[in-house]
Structure 1
Amino acid sequence: MNERATATDRPQLDLDAIVAAGDRRIRRKGIVTAVAATTAVVVITATAASIIGSNQESRPDRVQPAGTGGDFEQRTTSYSTGSVIHYGNHEIDVAPHSLSSFVQTDDGFVFTDKGGLVYLATADTVNRLGQTNQPYGTLLAAGDDGPYVTWLDTDASTFKVYDTAARREVASVEQPPQPKNPGEFDLLAVLALDGSTAYWHTADGVVSYDIDSDQTEVVKAGATTQWLADVADGTLARMSFDDQSITVSRDPHSDGPTVPGFSHATLSPDARYVATDPHDSEQVFEAATGKDVTPAAEGYSFTAVVQWTDADDYVALGIPQGNAEDEPFDLLTCSVSSKTCTPAAKSVGVFGNVQFPIGEDLSDS
């Protein structure tokens, strides 16, 4: 189960096992993607959330976003190899840095390097923003649109939110230091970002932080880091009560609707569709009805959603039929409405050598 049973006798988390096997997102038995969502602020009713006192939080002076949109508003096929970010037909070389993880905002790409430093890359500049040495899960979270990105400053035990349009840190939310050997319910971790709401895991469980109001609310007390899979347009995709399916709802306590799936879910920006991993390849379902609407990918033995580009289209990783997992894979562009997937980039790379804009380190080292 993904909720705390009692306040005592907490199981200890094997971080080495998580790094080695638990949270790597690209693998045949299920890809765990952490794409956050759109600009709508999540709404949680008073009965479903409790307010944490503002004296637990500190932040710099708020800076208004600089303009209404950036140079990278369009979401398209994006991935990185080494020091190069591939953005559609464009390439951005951030050498001498090498990307360990990255996400996209409307104003550029925020990435981490092997040393845990956080940078913002635009078409012609690379600027350092901070640091994170979080050894598990999502290192960076950003929405499907908007200027915000969030990460955990592990040295300061503080969650950071940065506005890439204003070029300023807009929130710094300090947490009590983690114990030396934290249990799975005590971990500090970044989970998702939806519009102007960040989702984190703390000792309280899964919490949301409203950037505009500077308020933190408990979404699910006693939940583990695995409980929340994605958030889009105020809708949560999360583990079901029995951990055997995915519940998609605005209400964090609702029992439905549910779709098949186990370890992850990736919502379309409007939360109409959800990609999960009920079988060897991923499937896309209509969230409200559970109807399977997965587009056909002829010639591929395995596909997995790595990035929604709009409410109907997504980019998928595809292993050609006959290829082994250590051979190069392709990237496909898929449309739910047209029910088809077509190759967008051939022989992009092999597992462990390619990063996708999901905020996790997918490398082998």
Structure 2
Amino acid sequence: MNDLLRDTLAERAAGTEPPPLDLDGIIAAGNHRAARRRTLGILGGAVATAAVAVGGASVLRPRNEQPQPARPGPFTQRRATYALGNEIHYGSEVISVAPHTVTAFVQTDAGFVFLNAENAIHVADRSGVRSLGKSSWELAADFRGNLVGWVEGFNDHNESVVYDVATGRELVRTAVGNKIPPNISLVFRSRIIAIDGGTAYFDTVDGPYRWDIRANRGELLAKVPTNAVRAVAAGQIVFQQPLEQRPPAVSLAVAKTVSATAPARFSGQQAFLSPDGRYLVTQPDDAQPGAWPRWAGMNLFGVTATRAAAMPRQYGVYRFGQWLDETTFSAVGVRPGSLVDVVSLITYNARTSALTVVARNFSTWTFSKTAPRTTPFALPTGTPIIDLAE
């Protein structure tokens, strides 16, 4: 850079004044930015507070974690079913429970629960057979769902149990009403009358209890003898009338509550209400009663539905199996064979009277030689088929 150019630039720099500093504008802008930061801070705190408050009331889920509908159990479908020896015939499917022999069983959506020859309780499902390490004399299950019930006997009391087959845990275990008085012989044993949705019905020494399974508490329905209440479905209760009488006690009433004033409109001993309570099937306790009055056969009645036709005469004896839906049930029919009476599995529609043979002559109508005298096969009622004759 030459001397002339350097002198010229220096002269121009000295003659240039800096721009005036607007302090008032700078302060105002700073105050505005500070105020904006405070506002955003307050709003941010309010949003955070609101998020905490809402979080206490509900849970926010990502879109891909919405609750999914419950999957149906592997045995949700009700098919005409029977057990013979160490096999459960579930429609056309055969489920082996070897080495056990099935003497009584019920179906749940999660699997079958059965008693073996020693009255030990087992579960058979898609994973195989497992023992529950418990024993009982009969079982009960709802028309739908995973719950099964039984009574366990001890020296001085019984315990009513409700068990979830799907989760493998007990929901209820109670000795309420089941203290056994000393030196007393009970005509009927305690049992689970029914599981009806979220309610279980326990037949105890003190009388029948209605038990809220979720709350795990119950109420005594009536101070009546054991076995006075026979069945429950859809909130309808089947009970003997009069409430106190000696066996066979075959006059039955159906009502929402156990009452001495409800009319006796039906006859029978064992009772099986349809899932919606419209139809009632009855049959005797004894599979081979010595006499055959009307109540000693299997009878079908309409409770709220019209029912006039009798069971078809093509079989001499019928024995109830289970309700498959609101109008159709399975049963066995007995016919004379060449050497012994033979048994076929059937379905029957209570509304249309349509009878369908599902498994023809699958077993014999014979009974074991020693007590309890039972058939070679079992049906999903939870109790064995017994000839009570000595």
Instruction: Tell me which residue corresponds to 2:270.
Output: 264
Q: Of 116, 121, 127, which aligns to 1:118?
A: 121
- Alignment correspondent of 1:174: 175
Percent of aligned positions with the same letter in both sequences?
Answer: 28
2:310 is aligned with 1:304: no
After superposition, what is the alpha-carbon deviation per residue over 1:330-362, rounded to whole angstroms, capped at 9, x for unaligned? 111111222221211111212410111111123
Is contact 1:102–1:140 with CA below 8 Å preserved after alignment?
yes
User: In terms of mean alpha carbon deviation, does 309-318 or 241-250 score higher?
Assistant: 241-250
Deviations 1:199-223 (A, max 9, x none): 22223211122111111111121x2
1:279-310 superposed Cα distances (whole Å, 9 cap, x missing partner): 45322111137743445x35222323321111
Q: 1:291 to 1:159 in 2, by over 3 A?
A: same
Q: Distance in 2 between matches of 1:355 and 1:339?
A: 24
Q: Which runs of 5+ in 1 are unaligned?
A: 1-65
Q: Which amino acid aligns with 1:332?
A: I
CA contact (8 A) 1:294 1:336 kept: no
Match of 2:345 among 319, 331, 354: 331
- Structure 1 stretch displaced more, 124-133 or 179-188: 179-188
- Residue 180 to residue 187, structure 1, CA distance change in 2 (3 Å): farther
Secondary structure of the 2:344 match is strand
Where does residue 84 of structure 2 map in the other structure?
81
- Is the aligned partner of 1:207 residue 2:206? no
Cα distance change, pair 113–305 in 1 and its aligned pair in 2 (3 A): closer
Tell me, yes or no, if structure 1 residue 144 matches structure 2 residue 139: no
Question: Which residue number in structure 2 is paired with residue 286 of structure 1?
Answer: 302
SS of 2:269's equivalent? coil
Q: Secondary structure at the match of 2:265?
A: strand
Question: RMSD over aligned Cα, in angstroms?
Answer: 2.7
Match of 2:106 in 1: 103
Does the Cα contact within 8 Å between 1:258 and 1:290 map onto a contact in 2? no
Give CA-to-partner distance per residue, 1:151-178, whole Å, 9 cap, x none.
1122483222111122212221135552
> How many Å apart are 1:265 and its aligned residue?
1.9
Normalised TM-score (structure 2): 0.68
Determine helix, strand or coil for the equivalent of 1:360.
Answer: coil
Alignment pair present for 1:153 and 2:152: yes
Contact 1:185 1:203 in 2 (8 A): no
Contact 2:205 2:225 in 1 (8 A): no
Structure 2 unmatched runs, 5+: 1-68, 244-248, 284-293, 366-374
* Secondary structure, aligned partner of 2:304: coil
Q: In the alignment, which residue of structure 2 is the partner of 1:350?
A: 364
Q: Distance in 2 between matches of 1:283 and 1:154?
A: 32
The amino acid that maps onto 2:217 is: Q
**Deviation for aligned residue 1:227:** 1.0
Q: In 1, distance between residues paired with 2:166 and 2:257?
A: 31
Q: Is the 8 A contact 1:130 1:153 kept in 2?
A: no
- Note the C-alpha offset of 1:146: 0.9
Matched, 1:229 2:230: yes
Partner of 1:249: 255
Rate the CA distance shift 1:331–1:99 in 2: closer, same or farther, 3 A: same
Matches within 5 A, 1:9-88: 67-88=70-91
8 Å CA contact 1:150, 1:162 repeated in 2: yes
Q: What is the CA-CA distance between 1:196 and the residue it aligns to?
A: 2.1
| Alignment-derived partner of residue 313 in structure 1 | 328
Larger Cα Rg: Structure 1 or Structure 2?
2
Alpha-carbon distance, 1:325 to partner: 11
Q: Secondary structure at the match of 1:300?
A: coil
* Separation (CA, whole Å) in 2 of partners of 1:283 and 1:324: 27
- The aligned counterpart of 2:194 is 192
1:75 partner SS: coil
Which letter does structure 1 place at the counterpart of 2:299? Answer: Q
Distance (whole Å) between structure 1 residues aligned to residue 203 and residue 75 of structure 2:
29
Contact preservation (8 Å) 1:281, 1:302: yes
Deviation at 1:234, TM superposition (A): 0.8
Task: Answer whether contact 1:120 1:128 (CA < 8 A) is retained.
Answer: yes
Q: For the Cα contact (< 8 Å) 2:189–2:226, is it kept in 1? A: yes
- Count residues in correspondence: 293
